[in-house]
Structure 1
Amino acid sequence: MNIGTTIVNLRREKGVTQEQLARAVGVSKPAVSKWETGQSCPDIQLLAPIARYFGVTIDALLSFTRALPREEADRLVKEIPGIFERDGFQAGMERCAALVREYPDSQYLKLKVAGLYTTCVLHFREEDRTEENLARFREYALELLEEILSGGESRYWVQAKGIAACCYMQSGDYDRAEAYLRELPVPEIDPDSLLPALCLYRGDWEQAAAVSRRVIRRYGNMALQGMVTLLRSAWELEDWDTVRCASEASKTLEEMLGFRTGT
């Protein structure tokens, strides 16, 4: 939220006009109007008087927080695909960059913005779906991911390496992609493999169904990706029996999971 929007909200909460605010802090009514429409910002020397007038801190006036909550980061990033669809590629990229500049210390935000690369093309307008734009987004995502991996919080490294591996694969840097993939941990036991059974023992049928759907979707998606890869490989090797079997299995999985790979 910019300072103009904050001033509008505070003024309305206080029930005062632009003219009353202007008179209180010693500026003209048009000056207040320009603040609220984003055409200009208050002089730094006016921040304290404006904050006192509304009974808030300067931090509140500037919408400053020491750390960006994860929930807020999720909300902000969730808006970006709509910007790509509505306003175009350039506007979407500018919004990504603006968020990262506004919260440069948020490793989680950088991870979420970089993660958009895996689905961003789905939200590009038809005229924006070019290799050049995809490469540009990929390079930007890799910059953010490498920042995280070079000195960010270690709790984000696994996800960052997974997304980076995807980016490097698609850019043709296969050795770098393989290096990151081999560094990813392999869990010995996935809790979700046992949770459905636990729910059944408890008689918690709704939870058992919910967890089972999550497990089927996760591993079904992995199986579908593997099937598509097998299909492509078998096609290149002219192994037609495998092509036929993999094609039928892929179609069945797509129908079960509601996915469309175009296989």
Structure 2
Amino acid sequence: MKEINIAKVLVKKRKEKGITQEELANYIGVSKASVSKWETEQSYPDVTFLPQLAAYFNISIDELMDYKPQMTKEDIRKLYRKLSSDFTKKPFDSVMEDCRIINKKYYSCFPLLLQMGILMINHVELVKDPQGSASLIEEARTLFIRVKEESDDISLTKQALYMEALCSLALRDPNTALELLDGTFAPALPPESILASAYQMTGRADEAKAVLQVGIYQNIVVLFNFFPAYLMLCTDNPAKFDEALRRAFVVAEAFDMKRLHPAVLAGLYISAAQGYIIQNNHDQALDMLQQYAQIATSDIYPLTLHGDAFFDLLDGWLDKLDLGSGLPRDEKTVRKSMAEVIVHNPAFSVLSEEQRFKNIAEKLQATAEKIK
């Protein structure tokens, strides 16, 4: 992809203005041959001529050079999906080199840099050595820091701050994560209820319902992000552990999470199984892994964000998300990781000789291999 496309712009603008190469050359003070070379990409105008050319055609220098330092949300989505797919088909280092070239070219496109950092984090498992993983996480963190410090978009800076803290944890630097998030723990002030009331007062009942559905949906997903961590903190208190798990399953059943958002429910089963392993309750751990396998090998692919009969007004909101309704990783990568998180998880090594565990592992691996 060319960084400078001045040739086609000159041709287009000159023809729009209805002038010859010689007339343009006379205005700039160069030969007709020079203009001809500019328009046929044999050479570029001297940098001192750029302001004159831009002023003559009444355009900016960026427009003259056809330089686009920003990407649209749709372009970012397409690029993310392409690179995510490339990670499953091409050598890792080759795809990362492509990522670095893109980051350098669009270093001031902060929505893109945020997603490129997220792309790296979501594929760090492809790096097999710990030093390489740490290096990749650090590289992603530098992108998040740039977005946090340079962007004027509050939403972007908040996401970048969160991702920077997540990188710090992954790099075993909890103190930095605590410093970054210090003061962000405040009472939730959801705007959805105010927006819904405003929509209702202006006679837009459907929009009010849609806003509240988005609020309910997001908070349910957040809730299921809390449950796994809380379970692991309760492993020393089996009664508390079981009660937390019971309540989580009640919510999951009420909102049909198995169909609405199987990925978050799968994460709950993994944490529950790990907790039971810590409690030396292998039968219950296998029960949880059995439930996980039922989800992971069912007809849930490709995984996408979606509504259902209850959440029937989410489409507009999902379309506005940075990646739309798609998930951050390619389907092949998702299937593979759904198997590896069980089969190669050291926490479950104590179950490796159990026939039930072997059956679960075989089922997961068979599903992972369905897409070549």
Q: TM-score range by the shorter chain?
A: 0.5 to 0.7
Corresponding letter in the other structure for 1:182:
D
Q: Does 1:258 align with 2:261?
A: yes
The aligned counterpart of 2:163 is 163
Do the aligned partners of 2:9 and 2:65 also contact (CA within 8 Å) in 1? no
Change (3 A) 1:145 1:244: closer
The one of 26, 32, 55 equivalent to 2:33 is 26
Do the aligned partners of 1:197 and 1:208 also contact (CA within 8 Å) in 2? yes
Once the two structures are superposed, residues 209-262 of structure 1 have per-residue CA deviations (whole angstroms, 9 ceiling, x without a partner) of 211121012211210101232344456866673475266357545336435133
Q: Does 1:85 align with 2:101?
A: no
Corresponding letter in the other structure for 1:96:
N
**Residue 64 of structure 1: how far off its partner (Å):** 6.9
Change (3 A) 1:137 1:148: same
**1: CA distance, partners of 2:197 / 2:60:** 53
Report matched runs for 1:210-221 at 5 Å.
210-221=210-221
TM-score by length of 1: 0.65
Change (3 A) 1:165 1:214: same
The aligned counterpart of 2:139 is 140
**2: CA distance, partners of 1:185 / 1:234:** 22
The aligned counterpart of 2:295 is none
Change (3 A) 1:209 1:146: same
The aligned counterpart of 1:192 is 192
The aligned counterpart of 2:46 is 43
* Bigger radius of gyration: 2
1:172 is paired with a residue of what secondary structure? coil
Change (3 A) 1:185 1:115: farther
Corresponding letter in the other structure for 2:220:
G
The aligned counterpart of 1:98 is 105
Change (3 A) 1:194 1:14: same
Say which is worse superposed, 242-251 or 199-208, in terms of deviation: 242-251
**Residue 178 of structure 1: how far off its partner (Å):** 1.7
Corresponding letter in the other structure for 1:140:
E
Identity %: 15
**Residue 137 of structure 1: how far off its partner (Å):** 4.3
2:189 is paired with a residue of what secondary structure? coil
Structure with the bigger percentage of helix: 1
Question: Per chain length, whose mean CA-contact separation is higher, i.e. which structure has more relative contact order (CA < 8 Å, sep 6+)?
Answer: 2
**2: CA distance, partners of 1:143 / 1:199:** 40
**2: CA distance, partners of 1:195 / 1:250:** 26
Change (3 A) 1:10 1:220: farther
Corresponding letter in the other structure for 2:140:
A
1:27 is paired with a residue of what secondary structure? helix
Corresponding letter in the other structure for 1:93:
R
The aligned counterpart of 2:249 is 248
Change (3 A) 1:231 1:251: farther
**2: CA distance, partners of 1:2 / 1:55:** 23
Alignment coverage as a number of residue pairs:
242
Corresponding letter in the other structure for 2:100:
M
Q: CA RMSD in A?
A: 4.4
The aligned counterpart of 1:106 is none
Once the two structures are superposed, residues 53-87 of structure 1 have per-residue CA deviations (whole angstroms, 9 ceiling, x without a partner) of 7564545313579xx78xx5756644541452365
Corresponding letter in the other structure for 1:241:
D
**1: CA distance, partners of 2:185 / 2:15:** 57
**1: CA distance, partners of 2:55 / 2:200:** 59
**1: CA distance, partners of 2:55 / 2:149:** 42
Change (3 A) 1:218 1:41: farther
Change (3 A) 1:128 1:174: closer
**Residue 177 of structure 1: how far off its partner (Å):** 0.8
2:34 is paired with a residue of what secondary structure? coil
**2: CA distance, partners of 1:48 / 1:149:** 33
Give unpaired runs (5+ residues) of structure 1: 104-108
2:225 is paired with a residue of what secondary structure? helix
